[in-house]
Amino acid sequence: MNRVIEKVAWLHLDDGRLLAARSHGRDRFYLPGGKPEPGESLEQTLVREIREELGVTLDASTVTPVLTVEAPADGKAPGTTVRTVCCTAVVTGTPKPCGEIAELAHLTHGDHPRASATTRQVLDRLAATGRLLRW
């Protein structure tokens, strides 16, 4: 049986590098964000998750979906897919690891081996547009 996990993620580029997070006990980096709570909008979910994970505030009125990716879910049963709506948004503050987050990194296309399947797809798409450093 195939299962789809719906998520929303924040795309934040800094000098051609993509911000990514690694949770405690995990070895791969993923896009900051998460799953909606019942009744939450995409914007509400993203603002809440980024505040919890990175300790910064996103301006909900600037949340803009820019791409959707589907990839196998890391660490889940075979056949489980993650569908992630990736958004940009204006931020106030400097991201830092909070809560479940152990470490932040700014990834280039050459960081594929360190990234989750979803993050690898986003790295590929950003590299193809020339917005991401290749190595």
Query: How high is the pLDDT of residue 77?
Result: 84
Query: How high is the pLDDT of residue 135?
Result: 55
For domain 3-129, give the CATH superfamily. Answer: Nucleoside Triphosphate Pyrophosphohydrolase (3.90.79.10)
φ/ψ (deg, to 5) at 100 = -75, -10
pTM higher than the cut 0.85 = yes
Split the chain (135 residues) into runs of 10 and give each run's mean pLDDT: 91 94 95 96 98 98 96 85 96 96 96 95 91 68
Domain ranges of the chain: 3-129
